[in-house]
A = this chain, B = another copy of it.
Amino acid sequence: MSAAEESAEPRDDTATPWGEVTPEAARKLLVAAVEAFAERGYHATTTRDIAGRAGMSPAALYIHYKTKEELLHRISRIGHDKALEILQAASQAPGTAAERLDGAVRSFVRWHAERHTTARVVQYELDALSDEHRSEIVELRRRTDAAVRRILNDGVEAGEFDVPDVPGTTLAVLSLCIDVARWFNAQGRRTPDEVGELYADLVLRMVAAKNR
């Protein structure tokens, strides 16, 4: 993915990407860090590179972030909070297990397609986090996993699904959605919503949902 391709596409589904990060200088630095990490990798990126992309001095960066790892942690934390929010909302929504699983897959796929640059950093740079921060993120991932597992268990109990291996199928469903961030191309044939619709159908087939 070249920088030119990236800049041609919307980086967020909201008007202001990373709008939750304030003040504006801190937000701009975070956007610059996501771009730099996605393009060159965490280890090849310096805080000087990030400040330069944001049109700031290294000294200005240090007002907001003490280390490069603090930037990565902030990106990873916000990304994982969003993933958890999406899947918990789908898990707790009204409707049958099939309807909730359909909603979970559609919204999780849409996020990984629309925010694929961010999602790649969030998914591929976990090893660069400090031990403390990685433990925090692993706990968020455990809860994300639990939200999907709950829908599968509910579907099995209600007689809607046939799932012999609930933990393994949970892993596969999440994995299928997450990998959208690797291959999704905003100039490609399918929109995020179209991928979401296709994948929701494939996942309902995986769980052998009745009345699909």
Contact = CB atoms under 8 A, between A and B. Distances in A.
Nearest to A37: B41
A172 B202 contact: yes
A182 B177 CA distance: 13
Interface string A81-98: 000000000000000000
Contacts of A164: 201
Nearest to A167: B189
B182 A127 contact: no
Contacts of A39: 127
Contacts of A168: 190, 195, 198
Nearest to A126: B1
Interface in A29-63: 39-44
Contacts of A78: none
A151 interface: no
Nearest to A212: B208
A199 interface: yes
Interface residues of A, number: 34
A198 B39 CA distance: 34
Contacts of A7: none
A191 interface: no
Interface in A139-181: 164-165, 168-169, 171-172, 175-176, 178-180
Interface string A4-44: 00000000000000000000000000000000000111111
A205 interface: yes
A206 interface: yes
Interface centre among A164, A182, A205 (most CB of B within 10 A): A205
A165 B44 contact: no
